[in-house]
Amino acid sequence: MAEDGEEKLLATVQHIVKTLGRTDTMTEDILKVFSNYDGRLSLDKLYATRAAAAAAAVAAAGGAGAGEHSVPASPPMPPPPAVPPAVAAMPAVTSLERTVRTLDRQISQFVAMDRLIWADSADADAFLEAVDDLIGTVQELDAAGTNRGLLDRADELLSRCMARLEDEFRALIERPDDVAPPAPGGFASDESEEEDYDADDGYGDEPIPIAKPVSDFDVVIDALPPGSVSDVHQIARRMVDAGFGRECAEAYAAARRGFIDESVARLGIRARTIDEVHSLPWEELEFDIARWIPAFKMVFRILIPSERRLCDRVFDGLAPYGDLAFVAAVRTQALQLISFGDAVSAASRAPERLFRVIDMYEAVRDLLPDLDPVFADPYSAALRAEVSAVCNTLGSSIKGIFMELENLIRRDPARVSVPGGGIHPITRYVMNYLRAACGSRQTLEEVMEGDLGAVGGAAIAVDPDRPTSSLAVHIAWIMDVLHKNLETKSKIYRDPPLASIFLMNNGKYIIHKVNDSELGVLLGDEWMKQMMSRVRRWNLEYQRGAWAKVMSVLQTGGPGIGSLPAKALLQKLRMFNGYLEEICAIQSEWVIADEQLREDVRAAITDSVKPAYMGLVSRLKSSPEAAQDLFIKHSPEDVEARIQHLFEGVSKIEVSGGKMLLGETVWSSQIFGLDCTILFHGLH
């Protein structure tokens, strides 16, 4: 009875197939539905039934041809159930065809899901298993090369499968929280960051994982939880195995690029064209540079190395697609930062830009050695070369700024003299500028030597006790240009002694600044001796020019033969009084800025004038003819006191509205087009 029931059930199924099936595929699909309910209704069963029926028919035909006297056979077995014509007419189906059809149904169910497959680990495992089977089947069909139609169908299914895998891949990278919670210490955005930035970023309620602020660059960012990294690696492996490695790399780059862009944007960096950089006022450009330096360090020391680490884990063993994905993900932001450095290098080379350019150069130079393992592959080597190139251009800009400083000193016109022969603004500016520049002496040595970050960006060792030729020669040349410029300016003074005071003041100021910084090491002792010799020569020229007629008047000819008569001595005394009044009236407005130099000059004058004056007075007092008309207006102590009040600079100096008012002369504070109120280290 059970067998009869099964035969009736099978006959019923076959009748349904005969009635509904219009094509081989439809028939087989309907039978597949039944096979899900009972394995006895599987295609294999039906194929076996059809084969048994065919064998019985062949046996029956053979029996009909036997002789009449043959031994009767055993009673015939009941004939098998009739096979419906629709089933009997089906062509032979290979196992590969059945596999493709089975995989098509399985994969289509996953592809049609309206949720992430990886939201359920069981679904993810089943999908990956089906993908592996499909990849193996495609490879087998391709190797056989006998069923092009079936191969095309399998390829089309594989493309659909890869498209869904790519969607899952990007979702796991962009939204890891949709699959699994972030690992402790991971890289998900916190509530405080969402509150701070939701109003500005335009992304609504969907949080974007970004880099948290750091102060220590020796860190690594884990942008994805470990579980997500494992999942995306499994997907990447399947896509590479299926021949979709480049698509996988592009999907990774597209998913990570938004993360990197957002992270850089939150560092306060905005993209600027070269024209914008060149047209920006210096104050605004300086502000951009101040933001660029820490951002550059953050991106190339933390963000990009962390991206390299993540990419290596996702594409572990899948080179070169991991290298392609890494370069595509970081290239845009890396080049944006590099292009800003190039634009600054090519912009104006005004001297006040030196210090910010040095800061940029040092930031790039210091990280070059650390980039070698990050950009070691052939695809990212070009980025390493770009960073090295911007280091070179920044170094060239530093050299150019120094050259421009020379040119501007040389071209600075001698128009108006400094009242009182004081220190010229150009001297203050240049010396404080060089003194501040020597705070980055090692960098300047490196740049002037022309190495510019060669040998992996290693810095050149500097001997602190010996001048290094390149920078020393360059600064000595600037000092020579400044000296010639000051000598030209001294010729403006109509009074030669005042010109000597002017040169003395500026020379002494230069000596003070050189002694008070590493300029002394760079210029050396010999240069210093020459400069001090110049100051002594200018001092002697001043004394001869300013006091020569005074000293001539005080000459009495001595006792005995050649002695002057009393009347002549009285005339000399009156002349001395007049000269002294005149000199004190004029030179009290002159300035000697250095206190020690001022005392030395006064002492030299006193040592020359006072003894000679005392000799004249003594001669007059000892002369009977002159004694009756003698009137001593100044005692030797009075003369000394008058000399001690010289060089005080009674003219008032005010600074107002960017102008220096020296007496009645208005001096612009713009030197070489630079604001002299810029403060450098040690400015006095």
Cα angle at 490 between 484 and 495, to 5 degrees? 155
Q: Give yes or no for residue 415 having a pLDDT over 50.
A: yes
What are 623's two structure tokens? 């002369």
Q: Which of 93-97, 225-229, 230-234 has the lowest mean pLDDT?
A: 93-97
Question: For the whole model, what pTM was predicted?
Answer: 0.70
pLDDT in the model for residue 16 = 59
Integer CA distances (angstroms), 70 to 61, 65, 94, 176, 360, in order: 16, 11, 42, 81, 110
User: What digits encode the pLDDT tens for the residues 100-154?
Assistant: 999 999 999 999 998 999 999 999 999 999 999 999 999 988 888 888 889 999 9
User: What digits encode the pLDDT tens for the residues 293-310?
Assistant: 999 999 999 999 999 999
Residue type, 481: V
Helix (H, G, I), strand (E, B) or coil at 376: coil
Residue type, 528: M
Nearest to 623 by CA among 554, 556, 555, 576: 556
- Burial (CB count <10 Å: 0-12, 13-18, 19+), residue 102: middle
pLDDT in the model for residue 634 = 86
Rounded distance between C-alpha atoms, residue 188 and residue 156, angstroms: 37
Top-confidence residue, 260 or 461: 260
Residue type, 574: R
Rounded distance between C-alpha atoms, residue 85 and residue 83, angstroms: 6
564 within 8 A of 620, measured Cβ to Cβ: no
Alpha helix locations (H) across 121-183?
121-144, 148-174
**Parallel, antiparallel or unpaired: strands 659-662 and 653-656:** antiparallel
296 within 8 A of 337, measured Cβ to Cβ: yes
pLDDT in the model for residue 268 = 85
pLDDT in the model for residue 271 = 82
Rounded distance between C-alpha atoms, residue 14 and residue 63, angstroms: 29
Peptide bond into 320 cis (omega under 30): yes
Mean pLDDT across the chain: 77
Rounded distance between C-alpha atoms, residue 124 and residue 116, angstroms: 9
Backbone conformation region of residue 562, classed left if phi is above 0, alpha if psi is from -120 to 50, else beta: left
Q: Hey, how many other C-beta atoms are within 10 angstroms of the C-beta on 33? A: 9
Q: Give yes or no for residue 668 having a pLDDT over 90.
A: no
Q: Give yes or no for residue 484 having a pLDDT over 90.
A: yes
- Burial (CB count <10 Å: 0-12, 13-18, 19+), residue 651: middle
Nearest to 608 by CA among 553, 537, 535, 533: 553
Helix (H, G, I), strand (E, B) or coil at 416: coil
What are 624's two structure tokens? 């009977």
Q: Give yes or no for residue 47 having a pLDDT over 90.
A: no
Rounded distance between C-alpha atoms, residue 405 and residue 350, angstroms: 8
User: What digits encode the pLDDT tens for the residues 210-228?
Assistant: 444 444 444 445 668 888 8
Integer CA distances (angstroms), 516 to 539, 574, 678, in order: 23, 47, 20
- Please report which helix (H) or strand (E) contains residue 668, including its range: strand 665-668
